[in-house]
Structure 1
Amino acid sequence: MAKSAKSAKSDRQKVIDDIRKKQKGADQRRGFMIVGVFVVLAVVIVGAAAYRPIADSIALRSYADMTLAEIGGPASSCVEEETKSAEGSGEHVPDTQQVTYDDAPPAFGPHWNNETAPVPMDRKFFTDGDRPELEQLVHNSEHGFTIVWYDQTVADDSSAVNELEAVAKKFPGSSDYRYKFLAVPWTSEDGGDFPEGQHIAMTHWSIGGVGETDTTQQVGVWQYCSEFSGEALVDFMEKYPYLDSPEPNALSPQDL
């Protein structure tokens, strides 16, 4: 028996309603999936951003109970010290004047002498993004600082950077002059490369021994290392203390 026109129309409407209902459900599921994907991506992005600081913080805490000499590689990671005459190199140049240094990195030489130099003692570790100018750092050398310079190979190694930051924390505050220490990057824009296979350089501006007054005895001292060695740094700073420098008792203006 043939369906009436009204009945056929009702059946067709039911089919259309079912199709629309299914389509609406499918649209909702796609919407939930899209939202879910964005939520997962957001969690991943936020997690990745938070992971590095947390991981770095955990890594730094792992060094808290270690002595300076226990951090890094053995002293044998470093080659023999090199020295070069620094006589007559303490020239002060105007602020912002750029100095071309012959050595990579410099241990002595002309430097700035204004209120922005040298670098205050309250901070000991710097990265490429916030490192002071070379002319400031050389002024720190004149004041007895030992500087540990690290190259791009070290800068690209988060574990090695954490290690140096942990080392810097072993020299807290700005009142104990024995803690005249800085860890800073050396970049390709600064000058030449370190010797082949060496990625760390320790420098000091020596007057030739504590109490030496003959300015002809002044030398720059370098010790290069394939990796950082706390053991070597301890030996270096004991051999070349802050008092063995042209202006050991000087403070930066910010510390006065």
Structure 2
Amino acid sequence: MAKAPAPSGGNRRQQLAALQDQQKSTQRRRTVGLLGICLVLAAALLSYPVYLVVKDSRAGNAVLADLGVAADAAACDAVATHPASGNQNHVADGTKVPYDRTPPDSGPHYASPAPFTKRFYTVDDRPAVETLVHNLEHGYTVVWYRDSAPQSDRDALAAIAKTFTSEDYDPTQKFIAAPWSDADGAGFPDGKNVVLTRWTADPANPTDTTKQLGVRQACGAVSGGAIASFMQTYPSTDSPEPNGA
């Protein structure tokens, strides 16, 4: 059987050129595809911070009373008051204070309060209880939440904390939500997931310890309406040291 004639030099060059063109075309498609993927990823990375800013802005503009459950659905006990103690009674950092009531609403505390601009704590970053009691002395509303509270309650408190948006000192922004665990002490009210607390004083004479009160209200669920009412009834100006940050 006769062999097929070998391709001429011109044909070989044409075949080689066609193969090179095919390889270049394939490489261009790959390059364009990779470029498209990179652009999509870059757009996603750039848009995520914008999403967070918008999300925080929406949270900051939310109405406190609209967050969480309605006040009449929160299973809140009546507000309880009792004589406060511990005004200007600073103990050494690391000291474990045995508070009369848990979570506390007054009592001895560490010399430095928690920072003004931090309003929601988790079990991973919460300061010592004794630190937060100092915040109570300065007029903060501290909402203690059970560390095993439903995620819906924790999410609601995180959203509520974001409604207090001022980064400058402002007495109306004195709010902190902080977790409470069994390791902090027994006594968290049965059947309740949050306890609202304040340390009040006579605004005309804040240093009169005979008129200072610990104020607390235990609730079964988080209610922005209940928190708003509590803070309006017990403003931060009525505290032992209202001008402290």
Q: Does the Cα contact within 8 Å between 2:109 and 2:130 map onto a contact in 1?
A: yes
Correspondence for 2:138 among 125, 143, 152? 143
Q: Does the Cα contact within 8 Å between 2:80 and 2:215 map onto a contact in 1?
A: yes
Q: Does the Cα contact within 8 Å between 1:111 and 1:138 map onto a contact in 2?
A: yes
Correspondence for 1:74 among 70, 81, 85? 70
Q: Show the 5 A alignment for 1:106-255.
A: 106-113=104-111, 116-117=112-113, 119-120=115-116, 123=117, 125-128=119-122, 133-150=128-145, 153=151, 157=155, 161-166=158-163, 168-169=164-165, 174=169, 179=172, 181-186=174-179, 191=184, 198-206=192-200, 215=210, 218-230=213-225, 232-242=226-236, 245=239, 247=240, 249-252=241-244
* % identity of equivalent residues: 26
Distance 1:227 1:29, change over 3 A: same
2:36 is aligned to 36
Distance 1:142 1:82, change over 3 A: same
Give me the whole-angstrom Cα distance separating, in 2, the residues matched to 1:237 and 1:44.
Answer: 40
Q: CA deviation at 1:132?
A: 5.0
Distance 1:160 1:83, change over 3 A: closer
Q: Flag structure 1 segments of 5+ consecutive residues without an equivalent.
A: none
Would you say how many aligned residue pairs link Structure 1 and Structure 2? Answer: 234
Give me the whole-angstrom Cα distance separating, in 1, the residues matched to 2:29 and 2:105.
Answer: 66
Q: CA deviation at 1:82?
A: 6.5
Give me the whole-angstrom Cα distance separating, in 1, the residues matched to 2:211 and 2:160.
Answer: 37
Distance 1:205 1:49, change over 3 A: same
Q: Alignment partner of 1:109: what SS? A: coil
Distance 1:214 1:147, change over 3 A: closer
Give me the whole-angstrom Cα distance separating, in 1, the residues matched to 2:182 and 2:107.
Answer: 18
Q: CA deviation at 1:36?
A: 1.4
Length-normalised TM-score, structure 2? 0.69
Q: Alignment partner of 2:216: what SS? A: strand
Give me the whole-angstrom Cα distance separating, in 2, the residues matched to 1:20 and 1:187.
Answer: 70
Q: Does the Cα contact within 8 Å between 1:86 and 1:108 map onto a contact in 2?
A: no
Give me the whole-angstrom Cα distance separating, in 2, the residues matched to 1:42 and 1:214.
Answer: 60
